Amino acid sequence: MDKILYFCKYNITNMKIYKFGGASVNSAEGVRNLQKIVGKEKGNLVIVVSAMGKITNALEKVVNSFFERRADVTKNLQAVIDFHTTIVDELFEDKTTITAELKQLYDELKEIIQQKPSLSYDYDYDRIVSFGELISTTIVANFLKQENSAIQFVDIRAGIKTDDNYREGNVDMDLSQKLCDRLFAEREKKVFVTQGFIAGTITNQTTTLGREGSDYTAAILANLLNADSVTIWKDVPGVMTADPKRYKEVQIIPKLSYKEAIELSYCGASIIHPKTVKPLQNKKIPLFVKSFIEPDKDGSVINEYPYKLNLPPIYIDKSNQVLLTLTPRDFSFIAEEKLSKIFSVLASYRLKVSLMQTSAISFSFCMDYNKVNFQQLVQEFKNEFEVLYNTDVELISIRHHTKEIIDKLVGEKIVFVEQRNRLTARFVVSE
């Protein structure tokens, strides 16, 4: 009986999750536009907000300056403060409350950078970069309260709990379920504002869910709160066949299956975070991708479909890639033992492989190029392998490929690695 009452108490219908990325709140005009979009919803809504504009990048500069004990750390932090101050000045006439709340956050940040860095870059990264989301949600929540006093601010670090794997925390779904049930207990007719990307440990240390992890936050909350839907508001009109900033002949894909979305995210599609789909698929929650510029248009929906969808060729370009080829110095075969060592090294650097290919005595793989630790990684591999690499390459992935589209995209480019199956063709090419 108690279990039935518990389920009824928290299973509120018509719950929606709206996620707004940095591009949608990169200015005062963007925040006002967010207000117009959410103003059409009368309640049962959770608004997940990312850091504003490119503030995550700006805070990464603060982290690097702090960790390397450089003198420009204060200057880099001031740039973050000035950016938000400009937006606040445009949004608020009476700035008493918002100024006091932001000052508290800025003071916390200043206190951190006055300390000595820890021995863990990832720990320092999470406790500093997380302020991007804390600041943005403070601004958005206070602005929305001017028209809707029922707006409720939630610090998501008290609800979503992870382990201490900093920069990519693993979520404890069972514990997070109990905590979010309490945080969002009075969810009927309520509008909540909370952060994407960040979470907390059981000892209340701040963690993050991986770069661009706000989509993942929205999916987790949808799963935990039994939401009816998730909508990700983007600067594009939906899931496109290619990046409209790079290609002219693109079209919206109205419907995609969960499986197709996972494949696209694995190939590097930036439209959704790779971990987003699973929490939604587990409870059959549809994911809408819509334009915050034209919010009344249908956009795209990712869902479970009982029939096969006829999809056009979809192509994804990942630039800033590096291709490495490792050959054992003793000419031994690339077998399980060698692969285990290779992936152990990659895991120690928190690196993920985008594409891999093996032969009898060599192993090639493509991944994001990180100048900061790349040479150190190469030196570690050189202890046991001959190492060849190309840093000026890109990875082209084509789902539902045709000969015509491959010829168009690859053309006369130098192809270093090629892989094809029935549905996907992938090429590592000269950039």
pLDDT in tens, 368-397: 998 878 999 999 999 999 999 999 899 999
Whole-number percent of the chain with pLDDT over 70: 97
Strand partners, 429: 394, 415
Q: Locate 4 and state its tokens.
A: 């039935």
pLDDT in tens, 399-419: 999 999 999 999 989 999 999
- 403: Cβ contacts below 8 Å, ≥ 6 apart: none
Query: Is residue 419 helix, strand or coil?
Result: strand
- In this structure, how many other beta carbons lie within 10 angstroms of the beta carbon of residue 292? 22
The confidence score (pLDDT) of residue 269 equals 85
The confidence score (pLDDT) of residue 9 equals 44
CB 178 within 8 A of CB 185: no
The pTM of this model reads 0.91
Residue type, 349: Y
Which long-range contacts does 111-114 make (Cβ < 8 Å, 24+ apart)? 112/66, 113/62, 113/66, 113/73, 113/74, 113/77
The confidence score (pLDDT) of residue 13 equals 58
Q: Output the CA angle 418-420-423, nearest 5 degrees.
A: 145
Residues in the chain, pLDDT under 50: 1-12
The confidence score (pLDDT) of residue 64 equals 95
In the numeric block, the tokens 């403070």 are attached to 138
In the numeric block, the tokens 């370009």 are attached to 317
Cβ burial of 116 (10 Å; 0-12, 13-18, 19+) is exposed
- In this structure, how many other beta carbons lie within 10 angstroms of the beta carbon of residue 79? 15
pLDDT in tens, 217-259: 999 999 999 999 999 999 999 999 999 988 988 999 999 999 9
Query: Is residue 269 helix, strand or coil?
Result: coil
Q: Report how far apart, in Å, the C-alpha atoms of 230 and of each of 62, 117, 151, 272, 335 are.
A: 33, 38, 19, 12, 43
In the numeric block, the tokens 């694995």 are attached to 266
